[in-house]
Structures are given as C-alpha cells and as structure tokens.
C-alpha cells in the first residue's frame, strides 16, 4: 500500500517537474540572455536538490510502473510475489538512483 501511494506521489511530483523543463525550453527559445539567466537559476543548490529528487522519483516511478504493468498482465499478484516485487522496486530505485545521480552530478554532467 505504501509503494502504491508513493507511486502516485512521485507521479504528481514529476508532473510538477515539467514546469522546470518547460522553463528551460522557453529560455532556449527566448535567446542567449534568457538561457544564461535560467542556467544561473538552475545551477543554484536548491534547484539542484530539486532535480536530484526528481531523478530519484523518476527511477522509483519507472520501476514501480513496470511492476504495475506486470500486474496488469495478471502476474505477480500473490501476496509473497507482490512483496518480493516491492523489495525489487526499492532495490532497483536505490541502485539506479545512485548511478543516475553520479552521472548527473559527479561525472561531469549537469542536469
């Protein structure tokens, strides 16, 4: 039940994150000055934390979305299977988030 609620919450959070994406695209369309202003905003630590949380949310939402697709096929619905797949979602989220955050923030990349 907790993972299902968290799936909905991360979906809402990722939807709100689209505002940041649209702002970035609008700054690209508005010209060099606007893009420079957006870049200064986007590289501030609060926005970087927000982007990091969005990346973690994406990893979780992706993993749990695949889990729900498998359930839609009628598989993995038994209690022990659902708990095992829930643990797999959490493990995948931790590992994938670590890789994505490393690549985004510590391996020369910028979100």
Q: What is the CATH number of the domain that holds 14?
A: 1.20.1300.10
55 assigned to some structural domain: yes
25 assigned to some structural domain: yes
Contact criterion met (CB below 8 Å) for 51 and 37: no
**Cβ within 8 Å of residue 42, ≥6 positions away:** 20, 24, 48, 51, 111
22 assigned to some structural domain: yes
- Given this model, what pLDDT does residue 96 score? 98
Pick the closest to residue 51 from 94, 110, 93 (CA basis). 110
> How would you class 79 by CB atoms within 10 Å of its CB: exposed for 0-12, middle for 13-18, buried for 19 or more?
exposed
Contact criterion met (CB below 8 Å) for 35 and 28: yes
- Given this model, what pLDDT does residue 21 score? 94
Give the structural domain span for 66: 2-106
Q: Is the pLDDT of residue 36 over 70?
A: yes
Q: Which tens digits make up the pLDDT trace of 55-95?
A: 999 999 999 999 999 999 999 999 999 999 999 999 999 99
30 assigned to some structural domain: yes
Q: How confident is the model at residue 107 (pLDDT cuts 50, 70, 90)?
A: confident
CA within 13 Å, CB half, 104: 17
Q: How many domains does the chain have?
A: 1
**Cβ within 8 Å of residue 41, ≥6 positions away:** 47
Which tokens sit at 37? 């202003």
Q: What angle do CA 14, 45, 16 make, to 5 degrees?
A: 15
111 assigned to some structural domain: no
């Amino acid at each position: 039940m907790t993972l299902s609620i968290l799936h909905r919450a991360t979906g809402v959070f990722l939807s709100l994150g689209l505002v940041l994406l649209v702002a970035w695209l609008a700054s690209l369309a508005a010209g060099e000055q606007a893009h420079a202003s957006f870049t200064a905003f986007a590289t501030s630590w609060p926005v970087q934390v927000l982007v990091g949380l969005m990346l973690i949310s994406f990893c979780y939402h992706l993993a749990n979305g695949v889990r729900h697709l498998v359930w839609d096929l009628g598989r993995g619905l038994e209690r022990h299977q659902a708990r095992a797949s829930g643990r797999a979602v959490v493990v995948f989220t931790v590992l994938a988030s670590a890789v994505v955050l490393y690549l985004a923030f510590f391996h020369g990349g910028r979100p």
